[in-house]
Amino acid sequence: MSRLGGARRRNRGTARRPLDPQPPRRRRRPARRRHRRRHRPRHAGRWDALADRITARTAAAATHPTGRWQRTTTDPGVDAALLLPALRGAVPADDPHTLATLEAVRSDLCEDHYTYRFRHDERPMEEAEGAFLLCGFLMALAEHQQGRAVEAARGYERNRAACGPPGLYAEEFDIARRQLRGSLPQAFVHGLMLEAAVRLARPVRHGELQIP
């Protein structure tokens, strides 16, 4: 017992061995820098420059003499799909191409707040195909982007009502016969209808709408 007690007394007097020091913590970046780093890819600058070059080349080769976008470098027709560059932020809302294209779609492809995709030939448009409901919602978004709230709401409501009893949309709507036309691809028209509903419910600020 005496030996054990002596060992215990000696252990009590011995200094404890210090723990291994912890590695220094990395300094946390400010929240704003972390957010910018996380949401802006490393090559974003190169992508922006590439987008600018594509836009410049397109403008040089596919600008109609009236100043609007044309369908292709060899097809001078107007196409309602060409409303998308401004809506998606590829070009500004007040860009001359944007304004001229919107005016051309409004005057050449719209009827009773329905919108046709493009003109096929010299026939009346309703004989060639139905109004393209996707383009009708694009037109509503484009009018909203320019601060034309009333026209945007009219176009939205006109195309929103062009569905069947179950609430399903076809690709096209026959304006003359007031009936669906084409196939029923789900989430094709519905997606843009919901997007337009959200956008049009917000206060109108000229030129602000750029959909990521």
C-beta of residue 93 within 8 angstroms of C-beta of residue 207: yes
C-beta of residue 135 within 8 angstroms of C-beta of residue 129: no
pLDDT confidence of residue 180: 92
What are the distances in angstroms from CA 183 to CA 130, 170, 173, 199? Answer: 12, 6, 11, 27
* Rounded Cα–Cα distance for residues 119 and 78 (Å): 8
- Give per-residue pLDDT as tens, 184-204: 877 889 999 999 999 999 876
CA torsion sign for 62, 95, 209, 164 is negative
pLDDT confidence of residue 44: 83
Q: What percent of the chain has pLDDT over 90?
A: 58
Residue 123 has pLDDT above 60, yes or no: yes
Residue 81 has pLDDT above 60, yes or no: yes
What is the b/e burial string over 26-49, where b = at least 16 CB atoms within 10 angstroms of the residue's CB? eeeeeeeeeeeeeeeeeeeeeeee
Domain boundaries, the chain: 67-203
